[in-house]
Chain A
Amino acid sequence: MGLQLLLEHINKPEIETIDGYIKHGGYRTLDKVLGKMSPDEVTEEVKTAGLRGRGGAGFPTGLKWTFLDKSTDKPRYLLCNADESEPGTFKDRLIMQKIPHLLIEGMILSSYALGCRTSYIYIRGEYMFILRILEKAIKEAYAKGFLGENIKGSGYSLDLYVHPGAGAYICGEETALIESLEGKRGNPRIKPPFPAVSGLWGCPTIVNNVESICTVVPIVNMSGAEYAKIGIGRSTGTKLISASGNINKPGVYEIELGLPVEEFIYSDEYCGGIKGGLELKACVPGGSSVPILPKHLLLKESNGNPRLMTYESLSEGGFETGSMLGSGGFIVYDEKQCIVKNTWTFARFYHHESCGQCSPCREGTIWLDKVLYNIEHGLGKESDIDLLWDIQHGIEGNTICPLGDAAAWPVAAAIRHFRHEFEYHVRYPHRVKDEDHVYQPEMNYRTA
């Protein structure tokens, strides 16, 4: 194992309890920070560390914090994005389930840096069992005086609550998350104004991913400058990768950014190679929204250099030959997997998750779903492939929020790199027997 900043103690006994966590060095940043460092100094450390948002977009966290509007006397809020619904991503869950206090410690530090008096963790509703773990841990932290009034006599006070969603991927988008926390439908807001100026209840708000917030703890512990030494270039530090699909050892791995993709897939320390001795066919390296890459483009950049697990290397070549690190949802496909079918399940996912506010996404995602369903089930036409291309093109860039792009990119990439599979499907249609269908073409959310 390489350097483990977040998961180092994950398998220690009783690490989920506050005593176990403290035993392994937990909460020591509070003594270092509260009352000793100014909020701006904490922000400065995060900036120096070069931490980039771990939720998907990779926006520099420290820089984002400086956008928070401090000119008003309205309260400010930090919201932790624990909606984790991007297919292929299951890393935040591991932290919250196993070391909930790491997130709480991160929330205290980050809230302090931002000057928040109240913060919320927005967790997807399906993770209700984790909400219980978090609430228990928060109770422990209150009892120890790490939360509440005048934390450890520093004069700083913070209340922390957990708010569950109820089944909607779109609530991971930060403005939809805010709407949902306000007790509304998860319709993303039209920006501007940005949350840093007008977010939760019209107050300045910062939304950060679970992993981003947890990473503030090691940054404060080791100093931003030390953290920045890990990794390559602008991809500093370690990153949690959720590895799934046809590999020998699926699971969550903490890697130093800069690890070669090939090593990540084949090394026994990580994925341990392809299951059943099969060949690697393709991979979606950053969660379902990012473009799929065939093996030859996955392992090598367009210039022949090995592809690395960094923001820059994975996106090298743009969408023609590259992809994105995204949320680190690393889905591996063996040679037997059907790209058409996989693309269809993704299209169905985005169709299911569109909030329905804007027309290209609302109508485009169902159209993609239906055309892909037809192709997969042997009902497609040759012209459907170009139609798919046109539909995704009509959605991309034309929507309110990036869910539209997220729906368009996987389809575009699948056609770009695996057009022959689509052609095969329409030329040699194999009608799948009825009982094999699991699709409900007319979805109705009101019924089960």
Chain B
Amino acid sequence: MDVHFSQEALKEINRIIAQYPKERKNSALLPVLHVVQKETEGWLSPETMDKVASILEIKPIEVYEVVTFYTMYFTKPVGKYVIEVCQTGPCMICGSDHIIKYLEDKLGIKVGETTPDNIFTLRAVECLGACGYAPMLQIGEQYYEHLTEEKLDQIIHELGSKHSDKY
């Protein structure tokens, strides 16, 4: 399968590569993977990773090693919105368990699963650096803090209703 990136993405990739010394092109791997993952429906297939390897002139295995190390890269398809709820100590004592439970019930899925319509994926993650504004979650680049049930309803509606009447 051929993998194609958009012109903007290629431009962004080149901008990123230019931030490192010429002979250290491979240092751009993490930021380039972020750009690429956005291009490819939020996850990285082996073909995509091979393409990144060839752009950065490294071995494919070096890309696989990196992708599987970091939690923000996905190697399997995910929903349109990946909801990541923080569950570490400070959030836990402020009620993150309840937030997770509420979302599980609301979306009808368990942590780690994706809704059948492929709109939401629910994950429980570790501290996101918002402990003082707990409980919190992240969707894409956006943080949602001081969560309540009403806020969750609102978030799900706002994002989900763009794609399905269900929400």
Residues of A within 8 A of B (CB): 84-90, 92-93, 124-129, 132, 161, 163-169, 180-186, 201, 242-246, 250-252, 284, 288, 329, 331, 333, 337, 341-342, 345-346, 348-349, 352-353, 355, 435-436, 438, 440, 445-448
Contacts and interface: CB of A to CB of B under 8 A. Distances in A.
A345 B131 CA distance: 14
30 contacts: A87-B126, A87-B127, A89-B129, A90-B129, A90-B131, A90-B133, A124-B129, A125-B30, A125-B70, A127-B129, A165-B70, A183-B28, A183-B62, A184-B66, A185-B66, A242-B131, A245-B94, A246-B94, A251-B132, A329-B131, A331-B89, A342-B92, A345-B87, A346-B88, A349-B88, A349-B127, A438-B101, A445-B68, A446-B75, A448-B82
A252 B132 contact: yes
B71 A445 contact: yes
B130 A90 contact: yes
Nearest to B33: A166
B69 A126 contact: no
**Which 5 residue pairs are nearest across A and B when measured between Cβ atoms?**
A183-B29, A167-B71, A166-B70, A167-B72, A244-B131
Interface stretch (B2-10, B19-27, B149-157, B159-167): B19-27
- Is chain B's interface secondary structure helix, strand, loop, or mixed overall? mixed
B126 A352 contact: yes
B112 interface: yes
B89 A87 contact: yes
Q: Which of A126, A127, A353 is the most central at the interface, judged by chain B CB atoms within 10 Å of its CB?
A: A126
Given A128-B34, A129-B141, A166-B33, A183 B27 contact: yes
A128 B71 contact: no
A245 B76 contact: no
Contacts of A185: 65-66, 69
B76 to A, nearest CB: 5
Nearest to A275: B94
B30 A164 contact: yes
B131 A88 contact: yes
B124 to A, nearest CB: 5
A182 B58 CA distance: 12
A87 B131 contact: yes
A48 to B, nearest CB: 32
Given A166-B30, A182-B24, A126 B138 contact: yes
B112 A88 contact: no
Interface residues of B, number: 58
Interface of B: 19, 21, 24, 26-31, 33-34, 56, 58, 62, 65-66, 68-76, 78, 82, 87-90, 92-94, 97, 100-101, 111-114, 121-124, 126-134, 138, 141-143
Nearest to A410: B89
B127 A161 contact: no
Nearest to B56: A183
A82 B34 CA distance: 18
B90 A88 contact: yes
Contacts of B122: 448
Given A85-B129, A244-B132, A440 B30 contact: no
B89 A88 contact: yes
B21 A440 contact: no
B109 to A, nearest CB: 10
B65 A168 contact: no
A168 B65 CA distance: 14
A352 B134 CA distance: 20
Given A440-B112, A445-B71, A125 B34 contact: yes
Contacts of B68: 445-446
A342 B89 contact: yes
B69 A242 contact: no
A295 to B, nearest CB: 16
Nearest to B113: A448
Contacts of A89: 129, 131
A244 B70 contact: no
Nearest to A164: B31
A341 B142 CA distance: 29
Given A435-B101, A448-B78, 15 more contacts: A161-B19, A163-B30, A183-B26, A183-B27, A183-B30, A201-B24, A245-B90, A246-B93, A288-B88, A346-B89, A349-B126, A349-B127, A352-B126, A446-B75, A448-B112
A165 B68 CA distance: 13
Contacts of B114: 448
